[in-house]
Structure 1
Amino acid sequence: MRPDSLDDSAALAMELLDIVPKVLRQMHTDALNSEILAEPDREDLSEIRTTSGQLSLLRILIERKCCMMQELARQLGVTPSTVTAMVKRLQAQGYLERSRDEADWRTVWVKPTARAQHLVQLYDRGRLASLERRLARLSETEREHLVAALPALRHLIEG
């Protein structure tokens, strides 16, 4: 369903809610199956078994260097038990390390490994290459429309 006019906010909202997740899913799939990257890099990506939620968790850790489990749950908008399951899986894959706080043993700190940093860099390269390929298929006019829409899209995510 395409909005017929700029006044049809509900239709525009539905269109955005439909298309944005699809684009992101396609880029995620392309990044994990990326044939664009050099052979050794592609091999690293083919071995991962992470979801977009786990990649978000790794991004938070890479940005913050170290984080408490409770803070990860809050940042991701999930329950502590969900974060615990994600952390256990990523730790088993060698993407992060857990440690107990020396002053309060109940507090668990999580930090990314060098392997996690490498994984996120490879994933980002694959995702970027996917989007660049898709953008290259657009006409000049379509690309101009996207460029013109960027300020409005940025405004959507501000406060």
Structure 2
Amino acid sequence: MESIGAGEVLDKAVDHRALAVAVIDISADVRRKSHNDTGVRPLSNGVLEILRVIESHPGITVAEVASRLGRQFSNVSVQLRELVAAGLVTRIRDAADKRYVALHPTAESQRIKALLEGSWAEALESASSRLRPEEREQIAASLPALQRLASVLSEPE
């Protein structure tokens, strides 16, 4: 008789399709419901993803951003110009190797990040207040695993 590993049992217990759909729906609704009150000019999902990678990895290169997001270098470069023009990202050229350009978030980018994250939290808090207490406890208990899952997913492939 063949034994089943713990990972196999867990994989069968999680409906990954349902999880993916729920995460995408939550993300879209949180962004839609929270952005209006921030006064921040709307950023496309693609541009916001680039900005979040740069904020998480200051000093990263355009090629590294493209790799992390699984996008073409040229597409990331075009969107990056938008972020630089908006004053949200700076490019710092390496003095020793002029081809190497490090990307850094600006103070304005960090201000907007804090503002958006606060607004997202308010949208989730408002919605979760309509859940049953045991549902809120389940969400709280799952947060470390979801944060770890997000970290694993963000790793370059």
Same fold, TM exceeding 0.5?
yes
Going from structure 1 to structure 2, the CA distance change for 1:50 and 1:7 (only over 3 Å counts) comes to closer
Residue identity over aligned pairs, in percent, reads 30
Q: TM-score, normalised by structure 1?
A: 0.74
Q: Which residue of 2 aligns with 1:20?
A: 23
Going from structure 1 to structure 2, the CA distance change for 1:155 and 1:97 (only over 3 Å counts) comes to closer
- Checking the alignment, whether the CA contact within 8 Å between 2:35 and 2:119 is kept in structure 1 is yes
Q: Which residue of 1 aligns with 2:134?
A: 141
Q: TM-score, normalised by structure 2?
A: 0.75
Q: For the residues of structure 1 that align with 2:150 and 2:110, how far apart are their CA atoms?
A: 26
Q: Counterparts in 2 of 1:97-112, with a 5 A limit? A: 97-112=90-105
Return the offset for 1:81: 1.1
Q: Counterparts in 2 of 1:61-72, with a 5 A limit? A: 61-72=54-65
Going from structure 1 to structure 2, the CA distance change for 1:98 and 1:27 (only over 3 Å counts) comes to same
- Checking the alignment, whether the CA contact within 8 Å between 2:35 and 2:42 is kept in structure 1 is no
Structure 1 gap ranges (5+): 1-5, 35-41
Q: Which residue of 1 aligns with 2:5?
A: none
Give the counterpart letter for 2:33 in structure 1: D
What RMSD, in angstroms, separates the aligned Cα atoms of the two structures?
2.8
Return the offset for 1:89: 0.8
Return the offset for 1:128: 0.7
After the TM superposition, which segments of 4 or more aligned residues of structure 1 sit over 3 Å from their partners?
6-11, 147-159
Secondary structure, aligned partner of 2:81: helix
Structure 2 gap ranges (5+): 1-8, 153-157
Secondary structure, aligned partner of 1:67: coil
- Checking the alignment, whether the CA contact within 8 Å between 1:55 and 1:120 is kept in structure 2 is no
